[in-house]
Structure 1
Amino acid sequence: MESRTMPTRLPESRTTTLLRGRSRPRRCGERERLEMGWAIALHGGAGDIPYSLPPERRAPREAALRHCLAVGVAALKASRSPLDVVELVVRELENCPHFNAGRGSVLTTSGTVEMEACIMDGNTKKCGAVSGLSTVVNAISLARLVMEKTPHIYLAFDGAEAFAREQGVATVDANHFITPENVERLKQAKEANRVQIDYTQPVKEEKPQEEASSGKGDSQIGTVGCVAVDGSGNLAAATSTGGLVNKMVGRIGDTPIIGAGTFANSFCAVSATGKGESIMRATVARDVAALMEYKGLSLKEAAAYVVNNVPKGNVGLVAVSANGEVIMPFNTTGMFRACATEDGCSEIGIWPSETDCVLPDPKRNLPTGYLNLQSGGPHFFEVH
């Protein structure tokens, strides 16, 4: 069994020095660690997103990210709580048909929608999660009601739908969520030796159909999520998804699993995206928080260790810390993402940029303080 070497802490001055002294305006990687203030990050899914993504597919998603970021920023400026902010932003993302959540949710092998969501408050560690929704307009709001109106954390399928009706949550006919694009995705996913890669046209896959349909092939890897922190260091995280194209009826992914796809405590808030089974095995969101809490790592260092230990092409995440750091690492080709901070930093992106900072692979024996700016590791977008 392969042994893991826990990462050593990088001197904070090493990172900040490399990110200063440039003539261009500051981006999300250049905020001073000691500054406090609100910060927000959101994502629209990570996966194999080619640079050749057609403009008609790219533009509406970028516009949606920009709109949702503006909604979150306005809420933070209005002194809304981080919990309110992440719910508001994820509701907007769920209402957008271009992402795999809510209106844009992908279909099961039976051609139905089974949505899931989770929300968590970092201060209290209160959380709520739902799965198997087919008529609820905004799964994230039902997850919050589970947290606030029941003694439970997680409701699923018929029980969750019944609770939604009891609470007067907006519901629609299940056909509302079945879009022509996702019907076509399901058709393609059902074809032998084919796989639907998120946000792209289908490509040939040299794997048996049963492997592709079980989620081992690279089906739709879309999820939406948001994390936020206010000027007092209060944190919250929210994530929502439709799951995998052609997934088995009843399959539950990482999104509603506390500590896998979603987690928040007094140290950080994390929302993950990618291949759910890999994220669950790695308990991605909780591990980031645990490395900060028990190992004393920075948000960036903790995320680097976690993302590097998930197989390449499987995960991305957005996270904020209590002192206002923002980080958006991924080991996939790309991740739809956006962030903003109180001091004016903002960024919207899909693929890695020249400002990426990549920490060394923790499995390699590299000297303390080494900062790798080359490709090959997870791509980082940070605020500190």
Structure 2
Amino acid sequence: MNIQRIILSHIRKRLYKGKVVILYGARRTGKTTLVKKLLGETIGEVAYFNCELQENQELLSHTNSILLKDFVGQKRLIVLDEAQHIPQIGLILKVLVDTFPETQFVATGSSSFELSNKISEPLTGRSRQFLLLPFSLEEIHQTQDLIAIKSSLTNYLRFGLYPQVFLADGDEKNEELMDISSNYLYKDIFQLESLKKPEILQKLLKAIALQIGSEASLNELAQVSGTNVHTVSRYLDLLEKAFVIFRLPAFSKNLRKEINKSQKIYFYDVGIRNTIIRNFNRAEVRLDMGGLWENFCIAERIKYNQSHRKFANMYFWRTYDQQEIDYIEEIDGSLNCYEFKYSPIAKAKFPKIFKETYPEAKFKVITPENFYELFLFENKA
């Protein structure tokens, strides 16, 4: 099955314009496959370097102009895969892009490079950054019609959409997820931060997984995971930079009743979430379908925005008297509000006070009956 990554077309448009292209994303989301496709499309000499290998780390551990010139040669495109392993990678890339403007440099990272403070300042104004997430429903729609996707939604909610999980058969899906979760997902956190108590991280992830859709209390998470609020806050930051979780802050601008100091935490992939709590049960026997559907839908909106280079501020909204909206996107001053209901007969209304306070806001309810409106007809939200 040949699923084309939508973000690839945007990357192509930004090549050979004097910028380093940086492709972020968790391990096993398809970054290496994507950059090798770029290499295969390129006319001229190209090079690929796996920066997890010691010899490549040594090769790129200097800024000597003569050595770098010999390294670049006549190459049209150079890919540095998992580039966060190169010492001073930000400075190295700065020297490369400034010295060899005719060569396109692409660097990938399975953790946000800020995790090790290597890239932000040196590459100011010299990079274009992209985020590759697991497959999206929009991408799957290239090879399946909407009816087929709808019939598979319950499986996507159980196993998520990591490429190798999506392409696996039967019990292989569980094994692929266990492999990703056990051997890959937290690798950079453990390596770069030298966590002394990884068991705290596991307890924290399980606590988050069990309360998706609910507001997260740092104090409660600290108590459950057996640590303090400072450590929880640091681990959450690391998990976010490793693209395991993302956080939504509360939306608050005009109303006294609006909660403004709270957050919700979700997983980029619900299959990973289910792996953490070891729950791959079918939908009809699950008790968490509401939160699972909410997480899945919000992650799909993030994938859509990332794929199409739409830069949105993302929130949830609630008042102290329990009026709420699951998800709000703010783009160019306009507000698109979403409520997610797994049951198509569940009632959901646009909160009157929100509608009156923000009269230009648009509201949409997403169920498995109209899931495609997450990525089709989005301008009609």
TM-score (norm 2): 0.28
Higher relative contact order (CA 8 A, sep 6+): 1
Of Structure 1 and Structure 2, the greater helix share is in 2
Q: Which has the larger radius of gyration?
A: 2
